[in-house]
Homo-oligomer: A and B are copies of this chain.
Amino acid sequence: MGDSLISKRLNITSRVRDYEVSFVADLRKALGSERLSGAFLIIDADLPGAAAIKKLFTPNRVISIKASEKSKTLEGCTVLIKNLTDRQFRRNDCIVAIGGGVIEDMVGFAATILMRGVEWVFCPTTLLAQADSCIGGKSSINMGPYKNLLGSFYPPRKILIDLAFLKTLPEDQIRSGIGEILHFYLVAGQDKLAQQMMSGYAKYLKEPEKLQSFILKSLAIKKAVIERDEFDKGERLLFNYGHTFGHAIESVSGYKINHGQAVTMGMDIANYLSWRMGYIQKGTYVHLQKILRFNIPLFRPSRAQWPRFCEALSKDKKNIGKALGCILTRGPGKMFKAQIPMDGPVALIREYFTERRV
């Protein structure tokens, strides 16, 4: 590909295969110069500009998917694999996936199990996928009533990021992506950088395509960790910071609160617990809350929601026995894994929701 089309690159080392992230100025041109027009295209049916992209590919090799939590199931992946096989997909063919997290999960998982693994290229179109999930190779698939029960670690061969897609996203999705970027910055001890991004918060909500340097830094932080712990055995688990509480918030809100903002509130809760349990000073808690505050959603579990919130916490996959598995902090860059008997943190979280004035 002509280098003029690429503004930045990142190489990721993986035990499956090494791969590359490129920021491209024009995805359609990039797909052409990467000689990907012979590949099978799997694209989010609702993506603005999808029609023009589809024209680049052989018509019989284009599959549009209505991306939703319902398609992110084993059944959805089975239909996708059958669809590819019926169209004579061969083991040396390549899949190009264009969309957000759901498309990434479906294609990543299908590419893992089809013929013991086939090549795929991913073009993330949401801020969350561009700044986080596009690297690391994780997929998550629902099976029956079990959310995210199935999955794999199987990165694409190449990732092409076109920032222009961000302009088409609803503001809610930008807020969500910013939450996930904030979480990488705090885990890496980059609270200054988080502050800097948040000082332009209102601007970036309007012009998210200007977030490139922040996206790149977010990916660079994640890259360093996944290269050391690709299969989530140790250090990579620290990226669950904010997520245990965030998932419970998402779940109780009926997924009305987006993932990244739920994680932002989840970080604030983790920091609150860390302060109240003696791991950080109040000043540190307040400092971090000032950074996070504009991205914390207005949410407080109602009396009726509270038991469901506690139940969601008790079902977290990181729990061992009756202890809550979560990530706490001794300050920016100093997150640590903790297993704490459930009643203590539950009482403190109740206090958090009562005391907090955001």
- Contacts from A to B (Cβ < 8 Å): 15-16, 74, 78, 81-82, 85, 91, 109, 112-117, 138-141, 143-144, 146, 149-153, 231-232, 317
Whether A78 lies near B85 (C-beta < 8 A) is: no
Of the candidates B74, B91, B117, B140, the one whose C-beta lies within 8 Å of that of A152 is: B117
Query: Inside 8 A of A141's CB, which chain B residues have their CB?
Result: 113
Whether A153 lies near B116 (C-beta < 8 A) is: yes
Whether B138 lies near A82 (C-beta < 8 A) is: no
A15-B16, A82-B144 as given contacts; A112 in contact with B152, CB under 8 Å: yes
Interface centre among A113, A138, A231 (most CB of B within 10 A): A113
Q: How far is the CB of A95 from chain B (nearest CB, A)?
A: 15
Query: Inside 8 A of A112's CB, which chain B residues have their CB?
Result: 112-113, 152
Query: Inside 8 A of A109's CB, which chain B residues have their CB?
Result: 113
Whether B81 lies near A149 (C-beta < 8 A) is: yes
Prevailing SS type, chain A contact patch: mixed
Of the candidates B15, B16, B82, B150, the one whose C-beta lies within 8 Å of that of A143 is: B82
Between-chain CB contacts (< 8 Å), 9 pairs = A78-B143, A109-B113, A112-B113, A113-B150, A115-B151, A115-B317, A116-B151, A116-B152, A117-B152
Closest to A92 in B: B320
Question: In whole angstroms, what is the CA distance A144 to B75 when docked?
Answer: 13
Query: Inside 8 A of A140's CB, which chain B residues have their CB?
Result: 116
Query: Inside 8 A of A138's CB, which chain B residues have their CB?
Result: 116
Question: In whole angstroms, what is the CA distance A338 to B152 when docked?
Answer: 34
Question: In whole angstroms, what is the CA distance A309 to B328 when docked?
Answer: 64
Question: In whole angstroms, what is the CA distance A149 to B84 when docked?
Answer: 11
A78-B74, A115-B151, A117-B231 as given contacts; A146 in contact with B85, CB under 8 Å: yes
Query: Inside 8 A of A146's CB, which chain B residues have their CB?
Result: 85
Of the candidates B16, B82, B139, B317, the one whose C-beta lies within 8 Å of that of A91 is: B317
Question: In whole angstroms, what is the CA distance A199 to B293 when docked?
Answer: 80
Question: In whole angstroms, what is the CA distance A293 to B138 when docked?
Answer: 49
A81-B149, A149-B85 as given contacts; A113 in contact with B116, CB under 8 Å: no
Question: In whole angstroms, what is the CA distance A139 to B112 when docked?
Answer: 12
Q: How far is the CB of A259 from chain B (nearest CB, A)?
A: 18
Q: How far is the CB of A304 from chain B (nearest CB, A)?
A: 28
